[in-house]
């Protein structure tokens, strides 16, 4: 039994590797989540950018990151939205833009977070041309209440987009991914904030 399981595992691993090596360029996702472990914002941003650099071989046209704006304390409500920085071009362009954006916003890069969630993405355009607006992360609105990155294609995004526009949502990008963030926001508001993320 163990021998056959090893063979199955090796076969599956070989299939995944062959599929991985023969699949055309696709997006890359890198995320960080820490719980009760202090990290400085500068360390989180550096880790996200390094993670994206390791995904560069996959090919992409733009990149972006989202990081928490304020440290969370037990029982504290978040009053500020996550910070999103996106750039057309290479990760090095994103890094330059991050430095400029955090400096312009006077963001404290030395603040430590006990609980931190952050996400990064390299995009290979499918819906909408390469641009900073179409780069991921995509958000639900100015408050960035829902921030999403995703690989793949949402085949019915036009139907969902039309529905959400009828409900008053305003779209900023040409991507299908923005629909996910807007839909989560719409459902959450429809439930009057009484829903958990799993319920949304």
So which residues are the catalytic ones? 27
Q: Would strands 83-88 and 28-40 be described as parallel, antiparallel, or unpaired?
A: unpaired
As a whole number of angstroms, the distance between CA 97 and CA 91 comes to 10
Measured CA to CA, the distance from residue 16 to residue 21 in angstroms comes to 9
Would you put residue 105 in left (φ > 0), alpha (ψ -120 to 50) or beta? alpha
Specify the 3-state DSSP secondary structure of 62.
strand
b/e burial code for range 116-147 (CB count within 10 A of at least 16 → b): bbbbbbbbbbebbeebbebbbbbbbeeebbbb
Residues 63 and 94 sit within 8 Å (Cβ to Cβ): yes
- Tokens 């995904």 identify what position? 55
């Amino acid at each position: 039994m163990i021998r056959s399981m090893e063979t199955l595992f090796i076969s599956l691993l070989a299939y995944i590797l062959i599929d991985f090596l023969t699949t055309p360029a696709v997006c890359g996702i890198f995320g960080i989540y820490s719980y009760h472990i202090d990290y400085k914002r500068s360390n989180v941003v550096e880790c996200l950018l390094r993670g994206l650099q390791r995904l560069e071989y996959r090919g992409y046209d733009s990149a972006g990151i989202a990081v928490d704006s304020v440290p969370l304390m037990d029982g504290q409500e978040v009053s500020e939205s996550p910070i999103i920085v996106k750039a057309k071009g290479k990760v090095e362009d994103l890094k330059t833009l991050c430095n400029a954006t955090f400096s312009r916003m006077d963001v404290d890069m030395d603040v430590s977070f006990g609980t931190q969630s952050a996400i990064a993405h390299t995009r290979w355009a499918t819906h909408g041309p390469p641009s900073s607006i179409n780069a991921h992360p995509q958000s639900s609105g100015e408050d960035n209440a829902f921030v999403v990155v995703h690989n793949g294609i949402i085949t019915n995004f036009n139907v969902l987009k039309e529905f959400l526009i009828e409900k008053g949502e305003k779209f900023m990008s040409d991507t299908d991914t923005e629909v996910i963030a807007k839909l989560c926001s719409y459902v959450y508001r429809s439930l009057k904030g009484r829903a958990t993320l799993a319920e949304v």
